[in-house]
Amino acid sequence: MNTLFPLGLPAATAFYLCLYLATLVVHLVFMHYVLAGSIYLAVGRVMGRARCQACNWQSIIVDWLPFATGLAITAGVGPLLFAQILYGREFATANLLLSHRWMAILPVLIVCFYLLYLQKSAWIARRAWAWRPAIAATACAGFLFIAWSWTENHLLMLDRAAWPGMYATSSLWYESAGVLPRLAAWCFVAFPSLAIELAWQGRLLGDRLDEPAAANTRVLGLSPVRRLAVTALSGWAGTLLAAWAYWPAIPAAARTAITGPLGGPWLIMAAMALVMQIVAWSITLVSERLTRGMLIVMTAAWVTTLLGIAVLRETIRLAAVDLATGKELHQTALGIGGLPVFLLFAVLNAVAIGWCIRTVRGQLATRSDGT
């Protein structure tokens, strides 16, 4: 624990941790879109029909949220798989202790998923406006319940001493000072992700974010670009506040690991990338323009911050779990064959996915050109 993550860890553990983190960051990209998007939509819908119709971002979110949810679920399979190799006993125990409460996330997810499709259906278009905020709020509440359950599950995994007592009481709720601030941090950090993803979507759909906005696109006096900047900056402000509240709830050993050689450099890297984003979004807020170059810089800083946060999250967990037992299990797992096959198909399928997107984009462009 006195060396930079993951260098001081056993090779097999480090290998699975890297894979876990790489796949987790991909999952976060989509999960953030779903979580922040559903909150953004629920709040937006409450603001009334006229404002909703003026807000291009809400239209994009409504349109893409079901697909993003599908991607978030699919992308979640990878980190879930590697988490079971890394922390199988802890993960299973937390699932079992939370029991029916934990399993409830699945029907809730199904209901939320269908509500997202309902939001973009012809059926809802024929209904009174009041249906839309109600549906958006229900879906949002469902996703928040899922986020809350994951937070509880994660913290319970790390609290081995609480397991027998929690089992004895049959409690389906894990009470810990860390649950609410950690949940808040994860919810707030999703907003900067949403802002960057929406900016890219807007650009790809033809929005000119580097030009002055038309008057009819303003909501509460804010242009689309400013709304993104406000979303991102308020998200970071909330994240920092929640992280500040969460800090005392983190065990002392984990805090030392975060600021020490294991996580310290990652903390500095994440902080620097965060400052870069805040500066970039502040400039955007003032100028009301978002150029492609600025967006690329923001995106690079955003990915760096996400990676840093993911590593720090893992640093806390590594301070809580029994790595000595895990080391043998990870070594055994790494000795099992199949890695080359996975790598081969990962590349082939990534190429196939790229081909699909490129082909469809090309065909649509050709059609819109009339050629």
d(CA 65, CA 174): 30
Number of residues that bind another protein (CB under 8 A): 61
Partners of residue 222 on adjacent β-strands: 219
Q: Which two tokens stand for residue 120?
A: 């973009």
**Of the candidates 93, 138, 201, 287, which one interacts with another protein according to CB under 8 A?**
93
Cβ at position 350, least distance to another protein in Å: 8
Binding of another protein by 205 (CB under 8 A):
no
HSE-up of residue 228 (Cα within 13 Å, Cβ side): 30
Binding of another protein by 325 (CB under 8 A):
no
Cβ at position 87, least distance to another protein in Å: 11
Q: Which long-range contacts (CB under 8 A, 24 or more apart) does 287-293 make?
A: 288/212, 288/213, 288/223, 288/225, 288/226, 289/209, 289/210, 289/211, 289/212, 289/225, 290/199, 290/209, 290/210, 290/225, 290/228, 291/209, 291/210, 292/203, 292/210
| Residues numbered 155-194 forming contacts with another protein, rule: CB under 8 A | 163-164, 167-170
- Work out the widest C-alpha separation in the chain, in whole angstroms: 70
**Of the candidates 3, 8, 48, 77, which one interacts with another protein according to CB under 8 A?**
77
HSE-up of residue 200 (Cα within 13 Å, Cβ side): 14
| Residues numbered 13-72 forming contacts with another protein, rule: CB under 8 A | 67, 70-71
- Closest by CA to 198, choosing from 29, 46, 73, 26, is 29
**Of the candidates 3, 53, 99, 291, which one interacts with another protein according to CB under 8 A?**
99
**Of the candidates 81, 240, 245, 253, which one interacts with another protein according to CB under 8 A?**
81
**Of the candidates 130, 177, 237, 360, which one interacts with another protein according to CB under 8 A?**
360
Radius of gyration (C-alpha) of the chain in whole angstroms: 22
> Given the complex with another protein, which of 293 and 335 has the nearer CB atom?
335
Binding of another protein by 88 (CB under 8 A):
yes
Amino acid at 273: A
| Sites of contact with another protein (CB under 8 A) | 67, 70-71, 73-78, 80-82, 84-85, 88-89, 91-93, 95-97, 99-100, 102-103, 106, 109-110, 113-114, 117, 163-164, 167-170, 329, 332-333, 336-339, 341-342, 345-346, 348-350, 352-353, 356-357, 359-360, 363-364, 367
